[in-house]
Amino acid sequence: MTIWIPTLEDDTPRYRAIADAIASDVAEGRLQPGDRLPTHRELAHALGVTVGTVSRGYAEAERRGLTTGEVGRGTYVRGATSLDPWPEQPTESEIVDLTLSLPVSIPEEATALAETLRQIAGDARIGELLAYHPESADCRQRAAAAKWLGRLGLNTGADDILVTAGSQHGLTVALSTLFAPGQVVLTGELTYPSIKSQARTHGVRLRGVALDDQGICPDAVERACRMEPKPAGLYLVPTLQNPTSGILSEARRRALGRIAEKHDLWIVEDDVHAFLLPDLPAPIATYAPERTLYLSSVAKCLAPGLRTGFIVAPPALRARLLTGIHTTMWMPPPLMVEVTTRWFVDGTADRLIAAKRAETERRQQLAQQILARHAHRCHPLGYQIWLELPEPWHTDEFVTQARKRSVIVIGAGAFSVSRRHVPHAVRLSIGVPSRPALERGLKVLDDILRAQAPPLY
Ligand SMILES: Cc1ncc(COP(=O)(O)O)c(C=O)c1O
């Protein structure tokens, strides 16, 4: 036969369109069992796509049982009897994963990393990055972090900063330093899932307190402080509360600081999202510096792979926290801290944050258009959406229906402190998929909810 050149469907990814074309040409007899398909290079040239796209298309056709291929021998159409009888499973690229709590990633960040690594490679002091740093990071790096955190209103110097491998690491160090097994720590009745697993690991008991649109309610904390056993601490996310996106007002931050002082509570203030938003009230750590351990990280505003975070704590705790850092990993890798430091100092961090904000805002606008008729909570510059499910939906039914249509979301149970308080809601993280995939995924969720009721199975 002459070289087979398919006509590709327009609105499908190229590699899938190639596999689809093989399937329809086999079904309609244009391709016969035993026919040899063009080489990857020939077809790529004929279709004006890359050789990689053709290889992926052929691999997909083989996965569906349409073809068989051997390196060096070519790709052949299989006999009809050998076709895969099972319906097609969604491929990885069709799945829209809205579970991962990650910031929007932008192409500029890879370029910035390459440039910064080149600069570090040319620096005569590069060898210093191979040393142990007993103070968690060197003084210059801690001074840059102090200046960076100063933008939030924290009045700190290099000696007030401890550098961690991210906020999650900071949380481990905080829990093991501040609380003994069996002690009670308060947190929102919906909270960051990692505090639940970390509390279990440390033997700390979590008690959930009420949240409203702003986040933790000081009255609820005050009430919980009068209950036995008395709580020893309060863990909270004051900015873009995970998962409901509340932001504590200045009045609430002050009130929580006062409650901590009155009831001898340690506040663990996990402010990972602060640099995503402009014009925030100052951290609780500025109102109750002796009772607050402030955690920050660049995971959400720059990149989680930098694994760089910071603890600002009262001086009396510093030695014990440093021991906690030494015990868990001695110090975060200096090379990663150095990249972060240079980004703070040379303006890269500001540039990347501005680009991320712009892209996040676009995605939130898209989400608002698609989800407009459904109750949800979010912030125009945040990358999470708390979608409240109307009657008669139960969370697990909705999660299952979404998964059947290749959209993955997290149900409220992951965030609930108590099994008694599990609202019918899911969290959507909009930072990870491409914008077209996000649009597709959100439209699927809208479509499911518009059907008004789950199917009977
Ligand atoms: C509230 C909160 N704290 C901490 C983290 C983890 O931060 P890091 O990657 O710096 O450990 C997350 C990530 O999802 C988070 O949502």
* pLDDT, tens digit (0-9, with 9 covering 90-100), for 122-170: 999 999 999 999 999 999 999 999 999 999 999 999 999 999 999 999 9
Give the distance (Å) from ligand 1 centre to CA of residue 195. 10
pLDDT at 173 over 70: yes
Tens of pLDDT, residues 199-237: 999 999 999 999 999 999 999 999 999 999 999 999 999
Instruction: Give the per-residue pLDDT at 91.
Output: 58
What is the average per-residue pLDDT within 297-317?
Answer: 96
Tens of pLDDT, residues 321-340: 999 999 999 999 999 999 99
Tens of pLDDT, residues 9-47: 887 889 889 988 998 888 888 888 888 899 999 999 999
CA distance 54 to 47: 9
Instruction: Give the per-residue pLDDT at 93.
Output: 62
Assess whether the C-beta atom of 287 lies below 6 angstroms from ligand 1. Answer: no
Distances (CA, A) of 182 to 229, 230, 232, 348, 395: 10, 11, 10, 44, 32
Residue 306 confidence class, pLDDT cut points 50, 70, 90: very high
Task: Quote the mean pLDDT of the chain.
Answer: 92
Give the distance (Å) from ligand 1 centre to CA of residue 211. 19
Radius of gyration in angstroms for the set of CA atoms belonging to the chain, rounded to a whole number = 26
* pLDDT > 90 in the chain, percent: 79
Judged by average pLDDT, the poorest of 14-23, 171-180, 279-288 is: 14-23
Tell me the best of 99, 167, 173, 236 to mutate to test the pocket of ligand 1, counting ligand atoms within 8 Å of each CB and taking the most.
167
Instruction: Give the per-residue pLDDT at 13.
Output: 86
Give the distance (Å) from ligand 1 centre to CA of residue 171. 9
Instruction: Give the per-residue pLDDT at 34.
Output: 82
Tens of pLDDT, residues 245-269: 999 999 999 999 999 999 999 999 9
- Angle between the 51-63 and 14-27 helix axes, to the nearest 10 degrees? 50
Instruction: Give the per-residue pLDDT at 457.
Output: 56
Contacts 24+ apart (CB under 8 A), 128-134: 128/334, 129/334, 129/335, 129/338, 130/334, 131/334, 132/330, 132/331, 133/331, 133/334, 134/322, 134/326
User: What distance separates the 2 farthest-apart alpha carbons in the chain?
Assistant: 86
Instruction: Give the per-residue pLDDT at 84.
Output: 43
Instruction: Give the per-residue pLDDT at 82.
Output: 40
Handedness of CA 254, 312, 179, 102 (dihedral sign): positive
What is the average per-residue pLDDT within 285-306?
Answer: 97
Domains defined along the chain, listed by start = 14-86 (1.10.10.10), 96-106+350-450 (3.90.1150.10), 127-346 (3.40.640.10)
Residue of the CA atom closest to atom 14 of ligand 1:
101
Is-contact 433 419, C-beta < 8 A? no
Instruction: Give the per-residue pLDDT at 81.
Output: 43
Residue 89 confidence class, pLDDT cut points 50, 70, 90: low
Residue 1 confidence class, pLDDT cut points 50, 70, 90: low
Assess whether the C-beta atom of 166 lies below 6 angstroms from ligand 1. Answer: yes
Give the distance (Å) from ligand 1 centre to CA of residue 113. 21
pLDDT at 85 over 50: no
Tell me the best of 241, 242, 298 to mutate to test the pocket of ligand 1, counting ligand atoms within 8 Å of each CB and taking the most.
242
pLDDT at 83 over 50: no
CA distance 361 to 363: 5
| Ligand 1 atom closest to Cα of residue 168 | 11
CA distance 30 to 167: 59
CA distance 194 to 190: 12
pLDDT at 121 over 60: yes
